[in-house]
A = this chain, B = another copy of it.
Amino acid sequence: MARRGPRGGGAVKRERILRAAIRIFSQKGYFNSKVSEIARPAGVADGTIYLYFKNKDDLLISLFEEKMGEVVADVRARVADGGGALPRLRIFIRNHMDLLTREAGLIEVIQVELRQSNKFMKEYVPVKFLEYLDVISGILEDGKREGVFRSDLNVTLARRAIFGALDEISLAYVLSRKRKYDPAAAAEEVYRIFAEGLAPHATKKGEDE
């Protein structure tokens, strides 16, 4: 399963490097993290990192793809046996908020650096991130078919709205030291907003009122 670099014991070392990178990147940001600062807690020499990753950029991308890949596979499995679109949306949202506890560093890196990465890695397409969004799309499409979401719903837009809401709430949670709210309760509230906000039967509101 090991992607690049030496195999066998090397896979362990590679994993240690990725874990250290997540920690350091999440603490200081990609550009302020030095390769040597990642090597030290990973327990390897600076040069060793270049046996497993092409360069610093590649370390970030590998981190995105591999760790995000695990997250995608995991959420897919959880959502798979969820029943209808609404319970699956709830599972998705709960899972995302739950990641804050399980994978705080990873979430933070993705939130902050994935945005940056567009700027300096023009050619990079964040495949796994798009797959994560696709999980939402899948749920939304099913919900339209089931009739629990509006039939004219713009799925592309809605999935961005859902992800954006979750992401921003996560960011605020991660950045604030105080942990103002409970992730599980927040998940429920976000679910409610979108479950109702996307529902078909609501009467139109707004300036007509």
Q: Which residues of A contact B (CB under 8 A)?
A: 27-29, 31-32, 84, 86-87, 90, 111-112, 115-116, 118-120, 148, 154, 156-158, 160-169, 171-172, 175, 180-181, 186, 189-199, 202, 204-207, 209
Contact = CB atoms under 8 A, between A and B. Distances in A.
A6 to B, nearest CB: 15
Contacts of A165: 160-162, 164-165, 168
Contacts of A197: 192-198
A207 B119 CA distance: 42
Copies in the complex: 4
A120 B202 CA distance: 45
Contact of A164 (B115, B166, B196): B166
A34 to B, nearest CB: 13
Nearest to A203: B196
Given A86-B205, A169-B164, A193 B195 contact: no
A206 B195 contact: yes
A76 B111 CA distance: 28
17 contacts: A29-B116, A31-B31, A31-B116, A31-B120, A32-B119, A32-B120, A86-B205, A112-B118, A118-B175, A156-B180, A160-B165, A160-B169, A165-B165, A192-B204, A196-B197, A197-B198, A199-B205
